[in-house]
Amino acid sequence: MDHYDIAVIGSGPGGYVAAIRSAQLGYKTVIIEKYDTLGGTCTNVGCIPTKALLDSTHHYAEAQHKFKEHGINLEEVKLDFLQMYRRKSDVVSKNTAGLDFLMNKNKITRLKGTAGFINNTTIRVINETEVKTITAKHYIIATGSKPSTIPGVEIDKKRIITSTEALSLKEKPESMAIIGGGVIGVEMASIFNRIGTKVTILEYADHLIAAMDNELGKTLQKILKKEGIDIRLNQAVYKVENSGSTANAFFKDKNGTEESLEADYILVAVGRSPYIKGLGLENTDVELDSRGFIKVNENNQTSVSTIYAIGDVIGGAMLAHKAEEEGVYVVETINGQKRHIHYNRIPSVVYTWPEVASVGYTEEELKKNNIAYNIGKFPFSASARARASMDMDGFAKVLVDPKYGEVLGVHIIGARAADLIAQGVIAQEYEVTAEDMFRISYAHPTYSETLKEAYLIASGQGAVNI
């Protein structure tokens, strides 16, 4: 029986980062993954392949609709659907190869198989050819999540699919209905709408990306609708049917009015659930909450002090970078270091175009908690850089404490918002004031100047640049 200092179960962003940091600190480390490739959902069937397709389809849409105004005339723009998907797969392969390199470089033992606890101190790893039993001083559970569904909707992976199956289609669908207008739903809608698929979003809430600042969701809705996506809000889907060559969704609005919709595929994007199948937690003293997530304390320890859990499997924001932060945090805590994670300072991003990004408090949260704030809001349409690139949709909005100038929240919908939000994270993490943020120099012309102007406005001054 082999013994390790730290055993990591799951190789997604939280797991592989935890394993690497563990090895860097000198611990004998093993990482256990049941699939052939490392990287988990994010690298293989989530963040990375989705972004590859979002970029490819964005280029295709730009060539169709904007190149002519830039003075670039193409006789004919053709879509090679299979090549687009091949490129996506190649991007994934290069990322997983990079993870293999990092495991070898850091001398991390890699075991392929399903890990299940025998008791609080021992796990069994089973694969197609062998059964291995190992022990470790500390365990880190990083098994992630799987797509959820709702009552009346059974995912058959044929006509009723999730984003995972959507990333492996063999031909372009003519139509698609997406249940859910959250991050995954709107990103999938963007991908397929751009290549000519008739896309309908069925969302239960009264605006898109409901977990983010309301104004972001409402603005994104207008933009996606302008691009041709049919968005139906306040709709409760209660049944779907696979009809063979198509599928049907049945739904009703808040007044009970029923409708149905036929499409080539029904894509279910209603969130994700913790993946704990086969972990053998019933053989341990690890506790779950009412929704099946693993309970942890402020140090990410479960009810067994030597077993930790991170990432999607413990709930909260299901973000790759949140899992990474927790992976490093746990290992450094084991190492005796004193760190802290400010969950309100972890950014959220939607990779539509324009992109949407947010960090800190939303307006709705500040109002609910009776926290005073000033708003600074500046449109991309007034940005010289945005006009030059024809990316004028959106705005930058900052929420600032009126007394001390503390930055309470930053919300952006616009070109390169995913990159711009890092500035807002810095402002919050180091408690930099709005005045500090507008007094630093910004290169001109850049998209980042929209933030400078927003900070100026929130501080009671007018905009000074375009």
Mean per-residue pLDDT, 339-366:
97
- C-beta of residue 366 within 8 angstroms of C-beta of residue 199: no
CA-based torsion, 209, 213, 216, 221: positive or negative: positive
* Residue that is last in its domain, among 343, 375, 404: 343
On whether both 359 and 314 belong to a single domain, the answer is no
Q: Could you report the per-residue pLDDT of 256-304, keeping only the tens digit for each?
A: 999 999 999 999 999 999 999 999 999 999 999 999 999 999 999 999 9
Tell me, yes or no, whether 43 lies in a domain.
Answer: yes
pLDDT exceeds 80 at position 192: yes
pLDDT exceeds 90 at position 463: no
* Residue that is last in its domain, among 311, 343, 375: 343
* Residue that is last in its domain, among 270, 305, 327: 270
- C-beta of residue 231 within 8 angstroms of C-beta of residue 212: no
Tell me, yes or no, whether 424 lies in a domain.
Answer: yes
Task: Write the DSSP assignment of 125-140 as a string of letters.
Answer: EE-SS-EEEEEEEEEE
Please report the pLDDT score of residue 75 as a whole number.
87
Neighbours of 460 (CB within 10 A): 12
pLDDT exceeds 90 at position 120: yes
On whether both 202 and 318 belong to a single domain, the answer is no
Please report the pLDDT score of residue 455 as a whole number.
97
On whether both 44 and 117 belong to a single domain, the answer is yes
Q: Domains in the chain: how many in total?
A: 3
On whether both 35 and 129 belong to a single domain, the answer is yes
Mean per-residue pLDDT, 60-81:
94
Provide the whole-model pTM. Answer: 0.96
Residue 444 annotated to the active site: yes
Instruction: Give the pLDDT band (50/70/90) at residue 362.
Output: very high
Q: Could you report the per-residue pLDDT of 25-47, keeping only the tens digit for each?
A: 999 999 999 999 999 999 999 99
| DSSP 8-state code for residue 236 | E
For residue 207, give the CATH number of its domain.
Answer: 3.50.50.60
Mean per-residue pLDDT, 64-70:
94
- C-beta of residue 307 within 8 angstroms of C-beta of residue 286: yes
Core vs surface per residue 243-259: b (16+ CB within 10 A) or e: eeebbbbbbeeeeeeee
pLDDT exceeds 90 at position 130: yes
Mean per-residue pLDDT, 58-71:
95
pLDDT exceeds 80 at position 466: no
On whether both 385 and 295 belong to a single domain, the answer is no
Tell me, yes or no, whether 465 lies in a domain.
Answer: no
On whether both 107 and 179 belong to a single domain, the answer is no
On whether both 139 and 6 belong to a single domain, the answer is yes
The encoded tokens of residue 166 equal: 């959507």
Tell me, yes or no, whether 30 lies in a domain.
Answer: yes
On whether both 63 and 167 belong to a single domain, the answer is no
Please report the pLDDT score of residue 282 as a whole number.
98
Distance set, CA 461 to CA 416, 434, 435 (Å):
25, 11, 10
On whether both 7 and 141 belong to a single domain, the answer is yes
Please report the pLDDT score of residue 462 as a whole number.
75
Domain of residue 68, residue span: 2-147+273-343
Tell me, yes or no, whether 82 lies in a domain.
Answer: yes
Task: Write the DSSP assignment of 41-109 as a string of letters.
Answer: HHHHHSHHHHHHHHHHHHHHHHHHHTTTTTT---S-----HHHHHHHHHHHHHHHHHHHHHHHHHTT-E
The encoded tokens of residue 296 equal: 């942890």
CA-CA distance, 219 to 412, in Å (whole number)?
Answer: 11
Mutual angle of helices 81-105 and 13-24, in 10-degree steps: 20
Please report the pLDDT score of residue 339 as a whole number.
87
Q: Could you report the per-residue pLDDT of 375-384, keeping only the tens digit for each?
A: 999 999 999 9
pLDDT exceeds 80 at position 440: yes
Please report the pLDDT score of residue 318 as a whole number.
97
For residue 366, give the CATH number of its domain.
Answer: 3.30.390.30
On whether both 99 and 204 belong to a single domain, the answer is no
On whether both 260 and 327 belong to a single domain, the answer is no
CA-CA distance, 19 to 8, in Å (whole number)?
Answer: 6
Tell me, yes or no, whether 348 lies in a domain.
Answer: no
On whether both 279 and 136 belong to a single domain, the answer is yes
Tell me, yes or no, whether 27 lies in a domain.
Answer: yes
The encoded tokens of residue 222 equal: 């207008």
The encoded tokens of residue 462 equal: 């007018």
Tell me, yes or no, whether 464 lies in a domain.
Answer: no
Catalytic residue among 65, 70, 342, 444: 444
